[in-house]
Amino acid sequence: MSKTRVGIINVTGYVGIELARLLCRHPGIELVSVTGRSAAGQKLGKFFPHLAGLNMTIEPKLGDVELAFSAMPHGESAAEIIPLIERGLKVVDMSGDFRLKNAAEWQLWYGHAHAAPDLLEKAIYGIPELHRKAISKTQLVANPGCYSTGAILALVPAATAGLTEPDIIVDSKSGVSGAGRALKLNSHFCEVDEDVCAYAVEGHRLMPEMVQEVGIACKGTIPKITFMPHLIPMNRGILSACYATLKMDKIPGNNPGEYIKKVYQDFYANEPFVRVVDDPPHTKQVQGSNYCHIYTTVDSRTDKLIILSVIDNLGKGAAGQGVQNMNVMLGLPETMGLDAPALYP
């Protein structure tokens, strides 16, 4: 079987280098081109010694590929992608440039006009568990945000079943790699170590992704999501705690906790990367993997549904899900190159 030629635009960030790590051992594709601006001309293995076995040079421009991952920053990726789409290449965009369908809303959250508003409707939001068929037919996948992925996978089964009221709270804690590789004061070791802080408390740009996708599951009801992200002193991982008021009249029997757990088990029964677990999950249980673990319970005193989800923000929250989307786009087995278990300890 011939292998698809794949490239990575901007390999030097955390998402780009995680893509390279996954793709270099992927049996269905050939990683043939990686780009980077400041590191152009350097050997990939010298810039990232853990990939010393790859005899590749970081190039200023993308080479001859059939599918490209764009790991450019938000707001810069669209300009790189436009000519690739015009050439007929398949593209997985790792930035936020194509995740929202409404150009005006995108401008509100990202601060400037969109470079390719005509492509927003054509791009498919890349959660395979929800949009697998559309992903298999598209040329452009908008890979979701890390926080968004964990929250959407946690909320959609209950929303699809019509079990919750519109008011939802998503409280998430992320490792520092989610802030990116560029130097920033608030991600320096002395600033982060022995500290936990909330940020973007007046609104985070990944929240509208949650509203968009959970709203689709709600079949017309627009959810009111309050999202509060936190930065915690670990490298990788996101734990999201989601809270929603149950519509108790929609729940049969006298054990709502068991009923809802069954709803989630049925929803994800055939999904290779989502596991409905029996105990509250830990981020270490998914570290380095493409898995999402979900736990549900009901607070009977307040009729609140509590859903916990954990993902690796660079795995299912970014590069792992990007490779999963690539597999679907290319008609490869969805788990190809991704079925390794989590790292432990």
Angle between helices 14-23 and 320-330 in degrees, nearest 10: 50
Which listed residue (24, 146, 197, 292) is catalytic? Answer: 146
Which tokens sit at 186? 């608030």
Which tokens sit at 84? 């690739």
Q: Is 146 a catalytic residue?
A: yes
Among the listed residues 154, 152, 199, the one whose alpha carbon sits nearest the alpha carbon of residue 173: 199
Among the listed residues 101, 98, 96, 80, the one whose alpha carbon sits nearest the alpha carbon of residue 140: 98
Integer-rounded Cα Rg, in Å, for the chain is 20
Burial class (CB in 10 A: 0-12, 13-18, 19+), 182: exposed
Q: How far apart are CA 125 and CA 110, in angstroms?
A: 17
Q: How far apart are CA 223 and CA 50, in angstroms?
A: 43
Within a 10 A sphere around the Cβ of 216, how many other Cβ atoms? 16
Residue with tokens 């011939």: 2
Q: Determine contact, residues 325/246, Cβ cutoff 8 Å.
A: no
Three-state SS sequence of 302-316: CCEEEEEEEECCCHH
Phi-psi region of 162 (alpha: psi -120 to 50; beta: other; left: phi over 0): left
Q: Could you list the active site residues? A: 146
